[in-house]
Amino acid sequence: MAIKNTVTTLFEMKERGEKISQLTCYDYTTACLIEKAGINTVLVGDSLGMTMQGYDTTLPVTMEEMIVYGRSVVRGCPSAFVIMDMPFMSYQCSVDEAVRNAGRLIKETNANAVKLEGGATVVEQIRAISGAGIPVCAHIGMTPQSVNAFGGFKVQGKGEENARKVFEDAIAVCEAGAFMCVLECIPPKLASLISSKVNMITIGIGASSNCDGQVLVYQDMLGMSQKIAPKFAKVFANVGDIMVQAFKDYDEEVKNMTYPAECHTYVKSDCDDEFLAKLVNESK
């Protein structure tokens, strides 16, 4: 029986200086494989708008869509700690709406925590959601839901003024009750400062190894993405190329009839010729 990763076990890992692994996931089959690999935490990211739905940004993703993907992931993750992303406009309008939507994500998927983007501007939401007993992962630095405000997916926290803003955001979300915080696309020294001075688990993406853990979008790390991957996205295995080759081989074998072969058919349970002839006669 798998032992569940929890807020407590994850904090214990931080205290021991043991790094925490996190991957995004959006479906049951991949969740089972990620679970089998022993990854500590899984993020059902709103990046699914781009990786699973083909949009250019995460902005169109809805609560209903998050719930459908999230449920499938949770069923495949008996031990990984599952975090549900709160989609664009599910928490920005009011604190009440944020708590209601965070509650829905937990009740309807059985996940373990929610994640929302933003620093000082969302502290009331973080306070209220964690006050309702739902662990909150914050997300600061490059926050993809603000792509239009940033003018693109750009590195944040560069220069003294911007570094101060990101650091103050980290302190603000921690004081509001966030137990974990994604640091996206910020410089290494700033990531190190936040990870050492702030009492929450930092998960880096494009933020160096100076964080308590790392997250990657699984299609990026498996070389499955057809778009230009960001600099930080190391390809650990070219699964995309393997899939394309397998699809090509299948296409060829279907067309030249080498697939299905006898070993793929139910020869033993087949009817005899006499019976089949009788069937034809009966249908006349």
Are 60 and 49 contacting, i.e. CB atoms less than 8 angstroms apart? Answer: yes
- Nearer to ligand KIV among residue 28 and residue 272 (C-beta): 28
- Listed residue (196, 201, 152) closest to 173, CA to CA: 201
Task: Tell me the DSSP string of 191-218.
Answer: HHHHHHHSSSEEEEESS-S-SSEEEE-H
- Nearer to ligand KIV among residue 86 and residue 128 (C-beta): 86
Q: Which of 15, 117, 124, 184 is catalytic?
A: 184
Bridge partners of 203? 182, 213
Q: Which stretch binds ligand KIV (CB under 6 A): 26-34, 43-51, 89-97, 257-265?
A: 43-51
We find the least distance from the C-beta atom of residue 175 to ligand KIV, in angstroms, to be: 22
We find the least distance from the C-beta atom of residue 180 to ligand KIV, in angstroms, to be: 11
Does residue 184 carry a catalytic annotation?
A: yes
Q: Label residues 211-245 b or e (16+ Cβ within 10 Å = b).
A: bbbbbbbbbbbbbbbeeebbeebebeeeeeeeeee
We find the least distance from the C-beta atom of residue 167 to ligand KIV, in angstroms, to be: 19
Alpha-carbon span 193 to 174, nearest angstrom: 14
111 in contact with ligand KIV (CB under 6 A): no
Alpha-carbon span 65 to 87, nearest angstrom: 9
43 in contact with ligand KIV (CB under 6 A): yes
128 in contact with ligand KIV (CB under 6 A): no
215 in contact with ligand KIV (CB under 6 A): yes
Amino acid residing at 105 = L
Rg (CA), the chain: 23
182 in contact with ligand KIV (CB under 6 A): yes
- Nearer to ligand KIV among residue 148 and residue 256 (C-beta): 148
138 in contact with ligand KIV (CB under 6 A): no
Residues 133/202/111/131 CA torsion (nearest 10 deg): 10
In the window 20-39, what residues touch ligand KIV (CB under 6 A)? 24
Binding residue for ligand KIV (CB under 6 A) from 30, 40, 47, 210? 47
Binding residue for ligand KIV (CB under 6 A) from 35, 46, 169, 212? 46
Q: Which residue number places its CB atom closest to ligand KIV?
A: 45
Alpha-carbon span 276 to 254, nearest angstrom: 26
Are 236 and 221 contacting, i.e. CB atoms less than 8 angstroms apart? Answer: yes
We find the least distance from the C-beta atom of residue 45 to ligand KIV, in angstroms, to be: 2
* Residues designated as active site: 184
Residues at the interface with ligand KIV (CB under 6 A): 24, 43, 45-47, 85, 139, 182, 184, 205, 215, 217
